[in-house]
């Protein structure tokens, strides 16, 4: 049972992101700001550091591909960006101390990198036609605020859950 | 040894970039249909999404009704004022409709571009990657008769068109998408004759749609209605889109561009209607025969 808990949690977050986008009162502040939920990637980052890096990258591929198919219909962007974000995160974490505050701060930095990477790719394929300053005002900063509050709430439960997962892997 | 690892990493990166470019190129093509793995994944997640979204909507609906209760009194006063007008408009509409039917009978016109059959659908999810992909996923698909490029509206006006379908869900691209291929043929209901143009592009900062390609000498006033033209595709005519806010000459001075304020709320959408153009439907008799055949 414990073995399936992590993929189930990730799948729930995947569905929840779509639901969140739909139910979030988007006309706050006249709808000037866009809050993008990035809960899935946060869970993946925590999984890679507290669980196992291999599983983090693998689920990054699977859920990146699903995200592309279901939510954007352009296959490739998230398929590439999710594992890359996990890989960069893991490499930064090797250099610094892994207490929960540092992990939270570095993961919010990685969310910012992911957002900017997605923006750059969309700019390249002419889906986005916005300069970086308005992008950061409309989407990047509100998104970081939303996701940081999510991390504040869920950092500790995630840590415990993924450490249990790592234990069960080691016991096998 | 380290040299070898560095090379391996470099090769992985290069191969994945090549795959990435190939995949993006593949999905950016103007595809008629999604591939079957995509359809399968979308249908499966659609099933889960619709299971989750219904109870979530009840909870959200409860809180929304509480909020609504707060300003019921004010709203009621306002609505009563409108009610007087509605009775008058209704009477006028009734007589106009009858007159229209009579005139059509004289001219022997049976169908018009404005005929459409609405199909009700509920939203089960929305793309979280907003701003780049303004898309919603609804719970009606190919098996219910939804096709690509059909018009989708709420009770107030057009919100977008069907981007892709799977057997049990379909994806709707909203008017607010920045995607440059998101074009809709539209018309301004001018004083004398309709002026045709295409809706292309969205101004995020002001929340305006751009209606391009209007003739340079046309005199368009603020507040005039913009509707779908029904020219081309499977869009029915006369679906309200919005109202003209401002008109400016375009960059080359050959045409005019109108900024259009959309009528429908593109944020809080729950129920939508998919419009099937009445004119392209097969004749009634054929359907009946098929149905009878199945019964036998």
- Residue whose pair of structure tokens reads 């610094």 in the numeric block: A96
Average pLDDT score over chain B: 81
- The more confident residue out of B281 and B182 is B182
Per-residue model confidence (pLDDT) at position B64? 78
Side-chain half-sphere CA neighbours of A26 within 13 A: 20
Domain-wise residue ranges, chain A: 2-24+33-166
Contacts of A130 (CB under 8 A, 6+ apart): A138, B131, B178, B204
Beta strand spans in chain A (E): none
Cross-chain CB nearest to B133 (options A16, A71, A129): A71
pLDDT at residue B275 is higher than 50? yes
- Lowest mean pLDDT, pick from B122-131, B133-142, B250-259, B281-290: B281-290
Cβ separation B24–A74 shorter than 8 A = yes
Question: What are the tens digits of pLDDT across the range A56-90?
Answer: 899 999 999 999 988 988 888 899 899 999 999 98
- The secondary structure of residue B253, as a DSSP letter, is S
Please list the residues that pair with B136 across neighbouring strands: B126, B172
- Chain B residues 147-166 with CB within 8 Å of chain A: 163-164
Which residue range forms the structural domain that includes residue B234? 183-262
Is A134 in CB contact (< 8 Å) with chain B? Answer: yes
Structure token pair of residue B89: 């408009």
Cross-chain CB nearest to B126 (options A22, A25, A31): A22
Rounded Cα gap, residues B200 and B257, in angstroms: 10
**Best mutation site among A17, A42, A70 for testing chain B: the one with the most B CBs within 10 Å?**
A70
Q: Quote the ipTM score.
A: 0.85
Contacts of A131 (CB under 8 A, 6+ apart): none
> Is the Cβ–Cβ distance between A29 and B4 less than 8 Å?
no
- Chain B residues 202-221 with CB within 8 Å of chain A: 204-205, 207
**Best mutation site among B41, B64, B129, B179 for testing chain A: the one with the most A CBs within 10 Å?**
B129
At residue B286 the predicted structure's pLDDT band, cuts being 50, 70 and 90, is very low
Percentage of residues in chain B having pLDDT higher than 70: 88
Is B39 in CB contact (< 8 Å) with chain A? Answer: no
Distance of CA A107 to the CA centre of its chain: 8
pLDDT at residue B228 is higher than 70? yes
pLDDT at residue B217 is higher than 60? yes
Question: What are the tens digits of pLDDT across the range B25-40?
Answer: 888 887 778 888 888 8
Domain count for chain B, please give it.
1
Is A126 in CB contact (< 8 Å) with chain B? Answer: yes
Chain B environment of A71 (Cβ under 8 Å): 127-129, 133, 135
Chain A environment of B179 (Cβ under 8 Å): 127
Ranges in chain A, pLDDT < 70: 1-2, 26-27, 30
Cβ separation A128–B179 shorter than 8 A = no
Per-residue model confidence (pLDDT) at position B281? 46
- Cα separation of the two ends of chain A: 13
pLDDT at residue B1 is higher than 70? no
The CATH number for B248's domain is 2.40.10.350
Per-residue model confidence (pLDDT) at position B290? 45
pLDDT at residue B5 is higher than 70? no
Per-residue model confidence (pLDDT) at position B284? 46
- The secondary structure of residue A136, as a DSSP letter, is I
Helices A77-95 and A100-124 sit at what angle, rounded to 10 degrees? 150
Pairing of strands B195-203, B183-188: antiparallel
- Chain A residues 28-47 with CB within 8 Å of chain B: 31, 34, 36-37
Cross-chain CB nearest to A73 (options B56, B130, B171): B171
> Is the Cβ–Cβ distance between B150 and B168 less than 8 Å?
no
Rounded Cα gap, residues B71 and A27, in angstroms: 18
pLDDT at residue B167 is higher than 50? yes
Question: What are the tens digits of pLDDT across the range B103-134?
Answer: 888 877 666 666 777 888 988 888 888 878 88
Is B32 in CB contact (< 8 Å) with chain A? Answer: no
pLDDT at residue B100 is higher than 60? yes
> Is the Cβ–Cβ distance between B280 and B294 less than 8 Å?
no
Rounded Cα gap, residues B112 and B236, in angstroms: 9
At residue B233 the predicted structure's pLDDT band, cuts being 50, 70 and 90, is low
At residue B294 the predicted structure's pLDDT band, cuts being 50, 70 and 90, is very low
Percentage of residues in chain B having pLDDT higher than 90: 3
> Is the Cβ–Cβ distance between B172 and B184 less than 8 Å?
no
Average pLDDT, integer, range B218-235: 80
* Inside any domain, residue B92: no
* Inside any domain, residue B228: yes
């Amino acid at each position: 049972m414990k073995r399936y808990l992590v993929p189930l949690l990730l799948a729930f977050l995947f569905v929840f992101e779509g639901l969140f986008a739909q139910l979030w009162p988007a006309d706050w502040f006249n709808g000037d700001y866009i809050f993008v939920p990035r809960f899935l990637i946060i869970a993946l980052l925590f999984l890679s550091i507290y669980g196992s890096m291999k599983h983090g990258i693998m689920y990054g591929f699977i859920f990146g591909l699903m995200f592309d198919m279901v939510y954007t219909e352009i296959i490739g962007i998230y398929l590439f960006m999710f594992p890359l974000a996990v890989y960069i995160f893991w490499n930064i974490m090797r250099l610094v101390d892994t207490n929960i505050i540092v992990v939270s701060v570095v993961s919010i930095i990685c969310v910012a990198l992911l957002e900017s990477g997605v923006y750059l790719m969309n700019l390249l394929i002419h889906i986005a036609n916005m300069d970086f300053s308005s992008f950061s005002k409309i989407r990047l900063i509100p998104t970081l605020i939303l996701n940081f509050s999510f991390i504040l709430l869920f950092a500790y439960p995630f840590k415990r859950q993924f450490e249990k997962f790592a234990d069960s892997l080691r016991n096998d | 040894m380290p040299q070898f690892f560095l090379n391996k990493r470099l090769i992985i990166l290069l191969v994945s970039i090549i795959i990435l470019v190939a995949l993006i190129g593949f999905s950016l093509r103007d595809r008629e249909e999604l591939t079957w793995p995509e359809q399968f994944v979308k249908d499966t997640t659609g099933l889960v999404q619709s299971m989750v979204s219904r109870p979530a909507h009840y909870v959200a609906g409860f809180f929304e009704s509480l909020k609504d209760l707060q300003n019921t009194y004010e709203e009621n006063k306002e609505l009563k004022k409108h009610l007087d007008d509605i009775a008058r408009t209704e009477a006028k509409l009734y007589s106009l409709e009858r007159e229209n039917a009579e005139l059509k009978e004289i001219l022997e016109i049976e169908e018009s571009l404005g005929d459409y059959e609405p199909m009700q659908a509920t939203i089960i999810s929305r793309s979280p990657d907003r701003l780049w992909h303004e898309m919603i996923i609804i719970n009606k698909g190919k098996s219910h008769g939804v096709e690509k490029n059909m018009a989708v509206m709420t009770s107030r006006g057009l919100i977008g068109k069907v981007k892709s379908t799977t057997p049990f869900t379909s994806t709707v691209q909203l008017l607010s998408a920045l995607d440059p291929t998101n074009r809709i043929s539209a018309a301004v209901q001018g004083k004398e004759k309709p002026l045709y143009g295409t809706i292309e592009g969205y101004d995020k900062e002001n929340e305006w749609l751009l209606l391009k390609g209007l003739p340079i000498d046309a005199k368009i006033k603020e507040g005039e209605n913009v509707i779908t033209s029904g020219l081309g595709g499977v869009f029915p005519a006369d679906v309200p889109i919005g109202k003209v806010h401002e008109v400016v000459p375009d960059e080359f001075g050959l045409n005019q561009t109108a900024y259009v304020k959309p009528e429908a709320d593109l944020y809080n959408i729950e129920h939508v209607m998919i419009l099937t153009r009445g004119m392209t439907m097969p004749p009634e008799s054929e359907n009946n025969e098929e149905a009878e055949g199945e019964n036998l």
